[in-house]
Amino acid sequence: MAREWRDVFVVDGAPAGVSGSDEPTGTEEKRMGPFRRLRENLRRTRQALRSEIQATLFEDLSEQTWERLEEALIYADVGARTTARVVAELEQEATAGKLTGGEALTSRLTELLADIARTGDDRIDVTARPTVILLAGVNGTGKTTTAGKLAWHLTTELGLSVVLGAGDTFRAAAVEQLELWAQRAGARLVKGPPGADPGSVAYEAIAVARREGTDVAIIDTAGRLHTQDELMAELEKVRRAITKQLPEAPHETLLTVDATTGQNGLQQARLFSEAVKVTGLVLTKLDGTAKGGIALAIAQELGIPVKLIGVGEQLEDLRPFDPAEFARALVAS
């Protein structure tokens, strides 16, 4: 079964504001929505890949099997390198007689992919007061949307109070965009004057959280390409401003990666990580047909885990990442 919010977020004892029962009253409906959405999405993903791999279920393991397998992984944006490694491993196991037939191959493949996806600590500790979560990533990958959804989930699922810091002071109407998300999520917004220094906004947002005893501060930032040195330096400055306000912060630095991203995603993760020490990924737009396989390459090469996934544009369309489910979606279940 998919992971639940409480599997991802580390909270102190019983979460505040939410009754003790596992199924808080009235949220049943809300829960079914995103679940159905996700399942539908995963089904679509599976169907596409199943047709790629299906033949393996009925055939002996032949040269063609490996080729088809390779293609399926490449098609999922896993990348040549990680694909080669996975296929080599399976081929070796097959030669050693450990895998006979397509069925065994498929289940071993799923296992292997899930193992790769399962890397590092994939939980988000929100016990610090306030907990500071910094969002970073390339333009248009979903930082602001994730900020809004995350605020809503922290509030509704875990009963935490949230401040949103409008750290994108560059893009036209970026502050207004976050402002609307803050309204939807019922979170407080902290913004600076137009063209403000993003570091100061972040600093101020955390100051507000500390002053008012808010549980979590989420800092949105402007999109930037990892190749833009000046903008990456600016992001480092934002991080320093956060640390100046609260020495142990940011507690979590999440990189948004669009699931449709190809091999460039690896370089994105590498350079963002060098600049601001990324602790996890949010894999967004998984509601499309893209499989987000680049996350596997990132996990494999850099050891950065996916923590959350985006499955739509509504408040509820954010889910905990589940390696096994992700692997099953990449392969046929």
Partner 1 sequence: MFDSLADKLQATLADVRGRGTLTEQDVTAAMREVRLALLEADVNFKVVKSFTEAVKTRALGADVIGQLNPGQQVVKIVADELTELMGGSGRELAFSPRPPTVVVMAGLQGSGKTTAAAKLARYLREQHGSSVALAACDVYRPAAVEQLVKVGAQAGADVYEQGTGEDPVKIAAWARDRATAEGKDVLIIDTSGRLHIDQELMAELANIKKVTSPHDILLVVDAMTGQDAVAVAEEFAEVVQFDGVVLTKLDGDARGGAALSVKAITGKPILFASTGEKLDQFERFHPDRMAQRILGMGDVMTLIEKAQDAYDEDQAAELERKLRKQQFGLDDFLEQLRQVRRLGPLQSLLGMIPGLGNELRGAKVDEREFDRVQAIILSMTPEERRHPELIKGSRRLRIARGSGTNVQAVKQLIKQFEQMRKVMRQVAQGRMPDLGALMRQSR
Ligand X SMILES: Nc1nc2c(ncn2[C@@H]2O[C@H](COP(=O)(O)OP(=O)(O)O)[C@@H](O)[C@H]2O)c(=O)[nH]1
Does 140 bind ligand GTP (CB under 6 A)? Our answer is yes
Please, what is the minimum distance in Å from the beta carbon of residue 171 to ligand X? 7
Show contacts with ligand GTP in window 204-263 (CB under 6 A).
Answer: 223, 225
Identity (one letter) of the amino acid at 11?
V
Show contacts with ligand X in window 242-261 (CB under 6 A).
Answer: 256
Burial of 24 (C-beta count, 10 Å sphere; 0-12/13-18/19+): middle
Show contacts with ligand X in window 142-171 (CB under 6 A).
Answer: 142-145
Please, what is the minimum distance in Å from the beta carbon of residue 86 to partner 1? 15
Does 140 bind ligand X (CB under 6 A)? Our answer is yes
Give start and end residues of each alpha helix (H) in 9-79. 27-58, 63-75
Q: How distant is the alpha carbon of residue 227 from its chain centre?
A: 22
What residue 311 binds from Mg ion, partner 1, ligand X, none (CB within 5 to 8 A, per partner kind)?
A: ligand X
In angstroms, what CA-CA distances link 91 with 55, 97, 277, 299?
A: 17, 10, 36, 22
Does 220 bind partner 1 (CB under 8 A)? Our answer is no
> How far is 68 from 52, CA to CA, in rounded Å?
7
Does 292 bind ligand X (CB under 6 A)? Our answer is no
- Report which DSSP code applies to 250: -
> How far is 15 from 79, CA to CA, in rounded Å?
40
- Judged by CB under 6 A, which of 122, 204, 252, 287 binds ligand X? 287
Please, what is the minimum distance in Å from the beta carbon of residue 19 to partner 1? 31
In this structure, are residues 306 and 283 in contact, taking their beta carbons and an 8 Å threshold?
A: yes
Pairing of strands 162-167, 131-137: unpaired
> How far is 95 from 100, CA to CA, in rounded Å?
9
Our CB check for ligand X shows the closer of 7 and 313 to be 313
φ and ψ at 309, to 5 degrees? -125, 145
* Residues touching ligand X, count (CB under 6 A): 18
φ and ψ at 38, to 5 degrees? -65, -45
- Report which DSSP code applies to 305: P
What residue 307 binds from ligand X, ligand GTP, Mg ion, none (CB within 5 to 8 A, per partner kind)?
A: none
Does 214 bind ligand X (CB under 6 A)? Our answer is no
- Report which DSSP code applies to 131: E
Does 212 bind ligand X (CB under 6 A)? Our answer is no
Does 313 bind ligand GTP (CB under 6 A)? Our answer is no
Show contacts with partner 1 in window 53-72 (CB under 8 A).
Answer: 71
Does 144 bind Mg ion (CB under 5 A)? Our answer is yes
Please, what is the minimum distance in Å from the beta carbon of residue 11 to partner 1? 28
Pairing of strands 252-258, 216-221: unpaired
> How far is 97 from 14, CA to CA, in rounded Å?
49
What residue ranges bind partner 1 (CB under 8 A)?
Answer: 44, 71, 74-77, 79-80, 138-142, 148, 170-174, 176-177, 179-181, 225-230, 258, 260-265, 267, 285, 287-291, 293-294, 313
What residue ranges bind Mg ion (CB under 5 A)?
Answer: 143-144, 168
What residue ranges bind ligand X (CB under 6 A)?
Answer: 137, 139-145, 223, 256, 284-285, 287, 310-313, 317
